[in-house]
Chains A and B, each alone.
Chain A
Amino acid sequence: MLDSFLLEAIAQALVNGVISGTILAVPAIGFSAIFAVLNYPNFAIGALATIGAYGGWVANTVLGWPMEVSLIAAFAAAALAGVLVEWVAVRPLDKAGALMMAIASLAAAIVLENAVRFVWGNGLRGYDLPMLRDVFFGPIRVGPQQIENFGIAVGAMGGLWAFLALTPLGRAMRAVADNPDLARLRGVDPVRIAAITVAIGAGLAGMGGMLVGLDTSIDPLTGPRLVLAIFAAAVLGGLGSIPGAVVGALVIGMVEELTVLLIAPSYRSVVGFVVILMVLTVRPAGLFGARA
């Protein structure tokens, strides 16, 4: 009796973990993609997720757009903010090295976070969503909204894959990530590719911020609360590897949900930090990474 109860709890946690991990993969891909092409960790990723969450919220509640269309607004708002941060704060420092760029991105994150706070305050904001009854698969319970978010996250990743694999621009991006010098010799404009990468990476972060917010509510710290899990997913998968970020995010999602069975839910994000330390001790290149 107790055993079946425990098994059900574990199964439920794994299902929740797959869903939250898939959603986490969206901003984690964004972080890893920027790292792969521009070679620095963009610490504005959390603030960009917040920007996306608020951009989508304005579209959804102020303009009255449906949730699915608002996600595009979330992507666009964060992409715009990301490119702005890159051009104004980060790129002029590229001669000073990756660490200076990382520090500048962190400073930019403070500015973005407070811009959101200035306009919308610290209060919680909710999206305009229909109330739906949870769906049961045997003993496993899932919200329809979660299923839709899961589907959207998978769709966004599929779209990104198609872009990277099938379009010339996507191929150029992968070429720059792989070997910038060789890509330049072949006539790929690194500045243009960098701008597009930042737009896509930041846009994905923004979508991720909104997808996470759809489950509960949003506030100026929605994004920053995600960063430990994003870093953990990216490091676990291997910094700069996009398939790695997806696998890393799924693992982090499931481990987070499983630990909630054992310890207080507020420790969820500490899980990410512990995973980072363990990965860097045992296999610093991560699961899929080539360099460390």
Chain B
Amino acid sequence: MTAYLVFLLVIGGIYALLAQSLALAWGMTGLVNLGLAGFFAIGAYASAMLVKWGGVPLPVGLVAAVVAGAVAGLVVTGATLRLRDDYLAIVTLGFAEAVRIIASNEIWLTGGTDGISGIPGGVPRDWGPAFHVTWLVGVSALVLLVWFALRRLAASPWGRALRAIREDQVVAAVAGKPVARMKAEAFAIAAGIAALAGALYGHYGSYIAPELFAPLVTIYVFLAVTAGGNGRPSGAVLGAYLLIGFLEATRFAAELVPGVSALQAAALREASVGVALILLLHLRPQGILPERNQKAPVA
């Protein structure tokens, strides 16, 4: 039971990183990233390949994942950040799909649909419980680090300008903010955080495959961020742990529904995620921890 809880908390931490990525892009800057699963995948593959086949230490793999994610973020958004926001939604959704197709087909590079197994875990897996507790400490520390960094960023002039862009790009531009550049910076940092989460996911679970990065992952993160509150890193983190709780609860609930097959139970669980997201968007879009108005600094 404790082992199971530790496992869930590690996964919750990985989702807390994804949720903070979305909180930065969507909540703070107004950029809808429907390709989170794609950046998650890029980080997972970059670090897994470097550490497993390149033999570099795990921290180097993590840094490489962040860089790969940020660069991918810049490439994907380069064409769209000056356009209406719907274009970004379409492009990012397409990006995640393209990543999954490439990962499924470039067998020489990614192992195809079989994926990559035996990804090093940083510390020996035969430590047993100590392995998982080490990971819990490591992942939680990174969640805390990103949370602290995002809070600092949000309170900085840069963060204020991002919120100004979110509220009204034209006004922000008239006030002399480099709108396109700041959006690109925010999106790239967010993509890097999502890639970091992917790298951790691969190393912790030791196995990655294209099917693990399905669009449903993106929906999970939207659910987490909407539940917790999309304007605050704290809300995103809280939402991520709640999401994991919700997903586990649906696992047990689906088993209680009489007369359904395993496949039908899985379909019910997935559908319940969609229903939950729709309900939250309608009933409490500001989340559990709504964004607070910041006081203007004393001049």
Contact = CB atoms under 8 A, between A and B. Distances in A.
Interface of A: 35, 40-41, 43, 88-89, 92-93, 96, 98-100, 102-104, 106-111, 113-115, 117-118, 121-122, 224, 227-228, 231-232, 235, 239, 264, 266-267, 269-270, 272-274, 276-277, 280-281, 284, 291-292
Given A266-B101, A267-B105, A270-B98, A103 B91 contact: no
A98 B88 CA distance: 12
Interface of A is mostly: helix
A205 B87 CA distance: 20
B267 interface: yes
A106 B90 CA distance: 11
B264 interface: yes
A182 to B, nearest CB: 21
B78 interface: yes
Nearest to A93: B281
A107 B94 contact: no
Interface stretch (B41-49, B57-65, B201-209, B268-276): B268-276
A264 B275 CA distance: 37
Which of B95, B222, B267 neighbours the largest number of chain A CB atoms within 10 Å of its CB? B267
Interface string B83-103: 111110111011101100110
B86 A114 contact: no
Contacts of B82: 284
A70 B167 CA distance: 48
- Contact residue range for chain B? 35 or more
Given A100-B285, A266-B104, A270-B98, A107 B277 contact: yes
**A-B pairs with lowest CB-CB distance, top 6:** A110-B274, A114-B271, A111-B274, A107-B277, A280-B79, A114-B267
Given A102-B32, A102-B86, A118-B271, 11 more contacts: A99-B86, A114-B270, A114-B271, A117-B263, A117-B270, A227-B93, A267-B101, A267-B105, A277-B76, A277-B91, A284-B80
A111 B281 contact: no
Contacts of A92: 282
A190 B270 CA distance: 34
A107 B276 CA distance: 9
Contact of B282 (A35, A93, A239): A93
A284 B87 contact: yes
Contacts of B84: 291-292
A270 B101 contact: yes
Interface of B: 30, 32, 34, 76, 78-80, 82-87, 89-91, 93-95, 97-98, 101-102, 104-105, 215-216, 219, 222, 260, 263-264, 266-268, 270-271, 273-275, 277-278, 281-282, 285
A114 B32 contact: no
Nearest to B87: A280
Contact of B273 (A93, A110, A267): A110
A277 B270 CA distance: 30
Contact of B94 (A96, A98, A108, A276): A276
B94 A99 contact: no
A274 B275 CA distance: 32
Contacts of B104: 266
Contact of A108 (B264, B267, B278, B285): B278
A270 B98 CA distance: 5
A100 B281 contact: yes
Which of A100, A227, A277, A284 neighbours the largest number of chain B CB atoms within 10 Å of its CB? A277
A273 B216 contact: no
Contacts of A99: 30, 32, 85-86, 89
B271 A115 contact: yes
Contacts of B271: 110-111, 114-115, 118
A280 B97 contact: no
Nearest to B276: A107
A281 B101 contact: no
Contact of A228 (B94, B266, B285): B94
Contacts of B274: 107-111, 114
Given A89-B278, A115-B271, A41 B285 contact: no
